[in-house]
Structure 1
Amino acid sequence: MSSGFKTISVILFVLGSSVSATADIVDWSPSARIPEQGRANILNLDQGQLEQYRDAGLIHAQIYPVTVTGVLPPLQPVRNFIEDRSWNPLKELLNKVIRNITGFTSFDGFLSRLGLHKYPKATDAGVYAVPYPEGSRPDYRMGFGVIERGGAQGFTFSCAACHSSELFGKTVLGLTNRFPRANEFFVKAKKITGYYNSWFFQHWTGASQSEAALMDEAVRNLGRVEVKNPIMVGLDTSLAQVALSLNRRQQDAYATPSPALERNPRKDPFLDDYPADSKPAVWWNLKYKNRWLSDGSVISGNPIFTNIIWNEVGRGADLRVLENWLSQNQQVVDELTAAVFSAEAPRITDFFPAERIDVGRAKIGEQIFNNTCAQCHGVYEKAWSLPGSETWPKEMQLRTTKVIPRRDTPVEEVGTDPYRRLGMKSLEQLNNLSISRKNGIVIQAQPGYVPPPLVGIWARWPYMHNNSIPSLCAVLTPAKQRPQVYYAGEARDKEKDFDFECNGYPLGPKTPAAWKEDDFLYVTTRRGMSNAGHDEGIFLEQGREILSVQDKKDLIQYLQTL
């Protein structure tokens, strides 16, 4: 091993493992400043504690830990509903009605339809590995979990349902799920409740009394939930579901929900008429920010704690019961927090030879980035700038040695689709909850969006909060010339499902034939799907492009190394 290679290995090890030995109270306020390299060890644990908390948190992300969750359908009776092929014609007719509503014919198909992915293999390592819940790889999909309550087994979904994705044969926990359908679950569950009768459910599914009681509770809590379909597969309306569900409760959201409000919820001035969709975010960006969500509207409070509250408002939970659970399970929240903030991004060289990136061109791209993009997106120091690096293996030269984010997370208005940020005004009512006030959670609608840190940007296509731009080539194209329609699909084959040169979805004749279904056709002229903005004042000056075709290619080569 060369001395230069040893040097860079030591540097990368120190950068990746440097943590404090003492635990401090986390500053979740908007005045917190983000240090160089971010806050991967947000709880300031010693190395051993950090690893223990992270591993426990990764299991919570796979198996939902909130045992008081609001919607917990009984597992076996629901499986029977989906899979049973009965000799009894009346029972089969009822099951057929349910299958027609849901579209599910098997329980695994149900989980697959919701976007859940298979667990990483035991041979996977690094960011592609997870600790298994029982020490061995489960047969079911990641994000599905079982909770015992009242003598019955109910099932629910955890963070991995929306925050994991397939990446060329690897399942990556912490990567945006490109096709989450968690909202679809609630939309269809609400439809089924219209047919629900406790006696029939117990009789036709063979449910025990405790299982029927669990289903009765789930149906009752769904009465507190208001749902909204996403405008496009791949987008998520969970935040809209939270606000609309609060509109079904008494003003303090703790009193017994009013039957009148459950039947006729308060009018929402925005969400009743307009979309506010966005894709789930990647985890590894959180360490580089001091405000959260795509628009930075969570300006104070632990975003993991906050997300649990939102999950349960959207599941119709009793918030007094939830508050008591949270007060007794702070370590669970801390473990999830440690796991999410310490997440790392996949590298493009994990899938493609490092030789596909020209270091000389990427260095030119770095200069372009620092002149046009770094002011908003942060600075990224590269191993290729270290003395003697030209003798190191190409993959080591491409590494990022330091991330220098903005000390205070900015919000910028660059002309991108406004509906998502406008919808956050409806979420400000969360500030009125006792549980929010006690825990320093503050939501404040913003005039723009957060320019995200670009670590792992290569793996995050399609781009913008609403998935309206299919590739980095299109991001660097003036808005009027960007594709108005494109087909989307899973990233299974790195040669067929990914355009390496443009970094994103293959377009036109390169689009895989299997993708060409209406559900996966993105139309950017639809309300909430605009691909406008992020051009003038960035790589356009008064409508004139300041980057050449070669400049853009060089910039993309650089971005692929982050």
Structure 2
Amino acid sequence: MIRGGVAIGGVAVLLGAFAAGAFWLFAPFGNRETAFDPSQFRSPTGPVPPSEQRPGDIDAGRHALLNAPYVSCGIPYNAYRRLNPETAENKPLSGREGRNAELPYALTSHVNEDGVEVISNNCLTCHAGRLNDEIIIGLGNEFGDFTRDPSRLVLQTGNYVRGAAETKAWEHWADRIDSIAPYVQTKTIGVNPATNLTWALMSRLDPETLKWSETPLIDPPPRDPLPISVPPWWGMSKKNAMFYTTIGRGDHARFMLLASMLCIDGTEDVADIVAYAPDIRAFIASLAAPAFPYPVDVELAADGEGIFLRECSACHGTYGANETFPNRVYPVSEIGTDPAYATEATDGSRDRFYAWVARSPYGDTESANPAPGYIAPPLDGIWATAPYLHNGSVPNMEALLRSDLRPKYWRHLFDPRNYDPQRMGWRFEVLSAGQESEKDPERRRLIYDTTLRGYGNQGHTYSDKLSAEERSALLEYLKTL
């Protein structure tokens, strides 16, 4: 049995309004002004060119990822332990040191400048999960719960804070959480609000000084975040851009520093992180996909490989001894998948955030250049990454390959949470009605409702034309990637 990733009761930080038209965004750089044409913040569909990446130390990157305080504020440890008297982690993650070895893998401890030990979320909140009781670094957490108001956690932990130093540390973290809380609550468990979270932080930070503002400096994002399925990190070794719409071009390590944004209050706060960011990027690029842990029909998979090469490889690449990956983004009109994420990335309504990146230490005018479509991802370890599509709307591979099997309303089966190796996805329950018909908020947030904005499961119907036998062979081959 495979069990899904752990959901941590807090807010994770990671990577992820002007109308469209002819306008200029003026941004001061020292004593000069730089004009930004909105066309600078667009990329065409088609091939995504590579960018040179800085080398890094893989082992040092893993150590930093698991132990370094790149998110520098959080809950005082004493308050955390009063709230959670028992250690929640059943199986420690190797390489975690000191206090971190006894904490859940998605939490990191460090001592701040006032001598207070604080506990903060780290990148593994969203970028790790469990397969067969093994913690897999780089697996997107498809069971994270971002449906709740994180301000409730702020108030709850505040009851356990003691003394002036702990109060100061808690207030720093609490103020930041309160500022982003309205923008990070998803409709259903499993999808991720990372893009909206990042934009909400950008609205409060001066892009040049990185000083925090108690009020927004630019308009914050909409309060209803579009759903995102977290892609696996092991694809980064092949991808020339980090995200679905090809934002995250150029220097990946530099752009990854956005993961530290929750707590910073000045450029000096990111100086240490700059030093080891290339190491973390090198570690991420070194990750390999986990192998399918169940029996495979070798002969059927061999038939499926031929079908894949004929039908799928032009977009998703080839695998095995001579691997290729096209790094190609396709327009929404061609793929047919839910258009909301790509459309809102390129309709002009997000240009203020791209201009922020261009002015900031995190990027330049090349970094945040979305294309009006979605990149066809590499399929290494695709068996482990259900549910599918960029918004996690299709619960298993069988339904992705045959669109009439896709449920309109569904929810994961959590008790127990089982993986279905035949259909390649998590077991789920088909429902007769969506969220609007469910009055109980606790049950409502479990429902994946494909009628909601951004949650659609349409498109990518290329394999509908295949015979049942061909689809069965293709699915079997996908298990081997």
**TM-score normalised to the size of structure 1?**
0.66
1:17-416 correspondence to structure 2 within 5 Å: 31-32=49-50, 53-66=57-70, 69=71, 71-80=73-82, 82=83, 118-119=90-91, 131-134=94-97, 138-149=101-112, 150-181=114-145, 184=148, 186-189=150-153, 192=155, 205=160, 207-222=162-177, 225=180, 227-249=183-205, 252=207, 254=209, 257-259=212-214, 261-262=215-216, 266-268=218-220, 271-272=221-222, 274-302=224-252, 304-309=253-258, 311-313=259-261, 315-327=262-274, 330=275, 332-348=276-292, 351-353=293-295, 357-381=296-320, 401-406=321-326, 408-413=327-332, 414-416=335-337
Counterpart-to-counterpart distance in 1, 2:330 and 2:246:
7
2:323 counterpart SS class: strand
**Amino acid of the residue matched to residue 404 of structure 1?**
T
TM-aligned CA distance change 1:441 to 1:160, over 3 Å: farther
Distance of aligned partners of 1:501 and 1:219 in 2 relative to their CA distance in 1, 3 Å threshold: closer
Cα deviation digits, residues 15-43 of structure 1 (max 9, x gap) = xxxxxxxxxxxxxx964279xxxxxxx65
Name the structure 1 match of 2:398: 473
Aligned to 1:23: none
CA gap of 1:503–1:141, structure 2 versus 1, over 3 A, is same
Give 3-state SS (helix, strand or coil) of 1:449's partner.
Answer: strand
Q: 1:228 to 1:366 in 2, by over 3 A?
A: same
For structure 1, which segment, 217-226 or 150-159, has the greater mean C-alpha deviation from structure 2 after superposition?
Answer: 217-226
| Alpha carbons 1:60, 1:158 under 8 Å: kept | no
In 1, Cα distance between the equivalents of 2:235 and 2:308? 19
Ranked by relative contact order (alpha carbons within 8 Å, sequence separation 6 or more), the top structure is 2
Aligned length: 416
Distance 1:341 1:473 in 2: 29
Q: CA deviation at 1:441?
A: 5.8
CA drift of 1:410 comes to: 3.0
2:437 aligned residue: none
Verify the 8 A CA contact 1:59 1:131 in the aligned structure 2.
no
Q: Distance in 2 between matches of 1:558 and 1:79?
A: 47
Cα drift, residue 374 of structure 1: 0.4
Question: 2 CA distance for matches of 1:219 and 1:286?
Answer: 33
8 Å Cα contact 2:51-2:251 kept in structure 1? no
Match of 1:289, SS state, is coil
Say if 1:504 and 1:491 are closer, same or farther in 2 by CA, change over 3 A.
Answer: farther
1:486 aligns with 2:410: yes
1:463 deviation in Å? Answer: 0.5
Cα shift at 1:370:
0.9
**Equivalent position amino acid for 2:412 in 1:** A
Hey, what does 1:532 align to over in structure 2? 458
User: Is the 1:63–1:157 contact (alpha carbons within 8 Å) kept by the matching residues of 2?
Assistant: no
Judge conservation of contact 1:296–1:411 (CA < 8 Å) in 2. no
* Contact 2:387 2:396 survives alignment (8 Å): yes
- Partner SS for 1:552: helix
CA separation of 1:288 and 1:502: change in aligned 2, threshold 3 A: same
**Distance in 1 between the 2:429 and 2:413 partners?**
14
Structure 2: state its 5+ residue gaps.
1-46, 431-441
**Is the contact made by 1:284 and 1:340 (CA closer than 8 Å) also made in structure 2?**
yes
Alpha-carbon separation, structure 1, partners of 2:170 and 2:98: 31
- Report the RMSD for the aligned CA atoms in angstroms: 3.3
User: Quick one: which amino acid aligns to residue 548 of structure 1?
Assistant: S
Greater share of helix residues, 1 or 2?
Answer: 1
| Structure 1 runs not aligned, ≥5 long | 1-28, 35-41, 46-52, 84-105, 110-116, 121-129, 382-400, 510-515, 540-544
Letter in 1 for 2:136: V
**1:344-369 CA deviation, whole Å, 9 max, x = no partner?**
11111xx223xxx2222211111111
CA shift at 1:59, angstroms? 2.8
- Change in Cα spacing, 1:145 to 1:507, as seen in structure 2 (3 Å) is closer
TM-score, normalization by structure 2 = 0.77
Instruction: Please state how far the C-alpha of 1:533 moved relative to its aligned partner.
Output: 0.5
* Aligned residues of 2:77 and 2:118 also touching (Cα < 8 A): yes
Q: Which letter maps to 1:340? A: I
Give the secondary-structure state (helix, strand or coil) at the position aligned to 1:145: strand
What secondary structure sits across from 1:146 in the alignment? Answer: strand
Structure 1 letter corresponding to 2:108: G
Percentage of pairs with the same residue? 21
| Alpha-carbon distance between aligned partners in 2 of 1:456 and 1:214, rounded to the nearest angstrom | 41
1:546–1:435 distance in 2 versus 1, CA, 3 Å: same
Larger Rg, first or second structure (1 or 2): 1
Distance 1:183 1:525 in 2: 17
1:77 alignment partner AA: A
